[in-house]
Chains A and B, each alone.
Chain A
């Protein structure tokens, strides 16, 4: 940087707007190719009867696929399962994540074991978490039933009874997703001003009071961000139930995402599967827009 300036090179005078355009172009092209185009094609396909089994004409059927969805009991069953998993695992992961974050925020001398404890569940693939918990809750050789027997309780058919299976899958999802919640909340905790707590201590506030009156209200933005993110990913739940039950017993633990996949890739009914995916897309989009609005409100 100390050398004498050589003569200006050509191309240097590319205007800032033009440079920005060329720099953003590859990202734009890729996202168009892999996100925008597929969504448009999805909406288009959902208006046709596209069945790969019969390679005959693929007639335009308008909204028939959507109407079919409304009268499809298996679809409603998957909606129920997905919502149930969302309603259980989002607050569940929040509570566990909050506890983990509070524990991780203590003044440790050595930080890496705590960080490892938070990062490992985040880094483990969802399907692996599903497999591990399937093994934990195995009715014959699982460690959970062994522990229950040891303390004098009855072993359970965790993944064989429908309601228990939903519960067991929820446990796996909460374990896997709470660590990410904890990381987001922990980042929020570390920005809280220390003086507030010192002042509270001077005023004689007990730790519990400090938590409810100071920590929780100040964490509200971090918690809201984490909650909305979790809700959107919960609506797309696929991997963990796939690895734990494959949707069984019967279709009791089949989620919307699993039904979309089997409708298209197993039954080759692309028109109907696209309609289902479009419905899920619209719901996710609404939640995302709510989220973006919230973020913008937070900035103002």
Chain B
């Protein structure tokens, strides 16, 4: 596995080629499904109904993207996803910062029990809370509202957020905090003004994970919002209905649009996402 001792450039060539092919395989495995949807979304309706099927679009068109926004409430779906996702992320970071700090820094009697509980909760089966959550939301009139999704999403991402933040907080020297407290900050002020800014990469990592979790969630969104105007993007797109058959040209375009924010995030912040996933975000 380790790089062989330096040899001449020529004998390195097959090795470098092999590495190139390996990397290409990993990349292709990851992008082909979305890539195929992108190609599909650029084809005309006639081309999609033609046999044998075509691979590259013969007359690339953006008409499907226009139609997705004009024939379906796509903008509404994206907006719903964004509102729910951002609210859950902010709440999650706020609540998670306090809990993560307490677990990382303060003397707690039952610390290990709390940690086990958190890890256990991060594996919590969503479908088991679906039924009671539906009953509660219905009785308090929260069905088809944003809080119906924001509250459970915050809770579902919270264990992972706390675990990630905890590991980042533990890495910050205690001296900096003590210095701030000598300067007259309370412990809480030291947390918000010194520890959180220093742990900014961790906070950011946790925020990305919480946002992706919320953006991707399907089961609760499908069940707790029955009105079309309240659907999030995954639900709205899955429930697209065609006049004759499953409308693949609209679905492919919508899917590509809904993947843009997530794809940009993982391209730009990939190192953070990987580190976050392996420190505490063990969910997938």
A47 proximity list for chain B (CB < 8 A): none
Number of interface residues of B (CB under 8 A): 100
Whether A124 lies near B128 (C-beta < 8 A) is: no
Expressed in whole angstroms, the minimum distance between the Cβ of B165 and any Cβ of chain A is 11
Expressed in whole angstroms, the minimum distance between the Cβ of B277 and any Cβ of chain A is 5
Residue A115 is within 8 A (CB to CB) of chain B in the complex: yes
B172 proximity list for chain A (CB < 8 A): none
- Also in contact, A20 and B102, with CB within 8 A (given A131-B238, A183-B277): yes
Expressed in whole angstroms, the minimum distance between the Cβ of A248 and any Cβ of chain B is 13
Measured CB to CB, the nearest residue on chain B to A274 is B131
Whether A119 lies near B273 (C-beta < 8 A) is: yes
Whether A123 lies near B123 (C-beta < 8 A) is: no
Whether A5 lies near B183 (C-beta < 8 A) is: yes
- Using C-beta atoms within 8 Å of the partner chain, give the interface range for chain A: 35 or more
Whether B107 lies near A5 (C-beta < 8 A) is: no
* Bound-state Cα–Cα, A11 to B190, Å: 13
B window 95-134: CB within 8 A of A: 95-96, 98-99, 101-103, 106-108, 114, 116, 119-121, 123-134
* Bound-state Cα–Cα, A31 to B82, Å: 23
* Bound-state Cα–Cα, A239 to B284, Å: 13
A104 proximity list for chain B (CB < 8 A): 23, 26
Whether B106 lies near A132 (C-beta < 8 A) is: no
- Also in contact, A5 and B184, with CB within 8 A (given A27-B162, A108-B19, A125-B234): yes
Whether B2 lies near A197 (C-beta < 8 A) is: yes
Residue B283 is within 8 A (CB to CB) of chain A in the complex: yes
Q: Bits for B1-28, please: 1 = Cβ < 8 Å to A, else 0.
A: 1110000000000000001001101111
- Also in contact, A34 and B33, with CB within 8 A (given A114-B27, A257-B219): no
Residue B278 is within 8 A (CB to CB) of chain A in the complex: yes
Whether B101 lies near A23 (C-beta < 8 A) is: yes
A window 191-228: CB within 8 A of B: 194, 197-198, 201, 207, 210, 215, 225
Whether A270 lies near B255 (C-beta < 8 A) is: no
Interface set of A (CB-CB < 8 Å, partner B) = 1, 3, 5-9, 11-12, 14, 16-17, 19-20, 23-24, 26-27, 30-31, 33-35, 37-39, 41-42, 45, 100, 103-108, 112-129, 131-133, 135-136, 140-143, 146, 149, 175, 177, 179-180, 183-184, 187, 194, 197-198, 201, 207, 210, 215, 225, 229, 232-233, 235-236, 238-239, 242-243, 256-257, 260-261, 264-265, 270, 273-274, 277-278, 280-281, 284, 288-289, 291-292, 295-296
Give 5 A-B pairs besides A12-B187, A35-B129 with Cβ atoms closer than 8 angstroms. Answer: A23-B98, A30-B155, A114-B23, A184-B282, A197-B1
The 5 lowest CB-CB distance pairs between A and B, nearest first, are A180-B284, A117-B30, A34-B155, A38-B132, A187-B278
